[in-house]
């Protein structure tokens, strides 16, 4: 008799666990669906914000190109009596300026 009642208790326990796990799975599935739906809504809001940012950027006037420096190509600069190294007829001159103020 003890053996039979042990089997009944074990069977009842197994049924209870299956029923509770099925209910748990359903609530977990529903929770996952809710989370997925919330993520989709959040992603849609991000897309809308991104489109708004793109429109704002496109509406701004384009910045003018930065003015270029003076055109020194082919110019000859007289270094005068300043100290130099190398040939006086060199095609390239490197100038180092130091201000000790």
Tally of structural domains, the chain: 1
| Residue 9: inside a domain | yes
Residue 91 lies in a domain: no
Q: Is residue 87 part of a domain?
A: no
Domain for residue 100, yes or no?
Answer: no
- Nearest alpha-carbon partner for 83 in 74, 75, 94: 94
The boundaries of the domain holding residue 30 are: 1-62
pLDDT at 2: 45
Query: What is the reported pLDDT for 98?
Result: 83
Q: What percent of the chain has pLDDT over 90?
A: 26
Q: Please give the Cα distance from 40 to 38 (Å, whole number).
A: 5
Q: How confident is the model at residue 1 (pLDDT cuts 50, 70, 90)?
A: very low
Closest to 93 in 3D by CA, of 83, 44, 8: 83
User: Would you state the pLDDT for residue 52?
Assistant: 96
Q: Which pLDDT value is given to residue 90?
A: 79
Residue 81 maps to a domain: no
pTM: 0.38
């Amino acid at each position: 008799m003890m053996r039979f009642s042990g089997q009944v208790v074990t069977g009842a326990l197994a049924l209870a666990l299956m029923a509770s796990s099925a209910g748990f799975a359903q609530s977990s599935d529903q929770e996952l669906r809710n989370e997925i739906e919330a993520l989709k809504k959040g992603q849609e809001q991000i897309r809308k914000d991104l489109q708004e940012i793109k429109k704002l950027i496109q509406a701004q006037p384009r910045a003018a190109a930065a003015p270029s420096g003076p055109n020194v190509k082919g110019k000859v600069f007289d270094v005068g009596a300043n100290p130099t190294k190398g040939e006086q007829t060199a095609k390239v001159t490197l100038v180092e300026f130091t201000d000790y103020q």
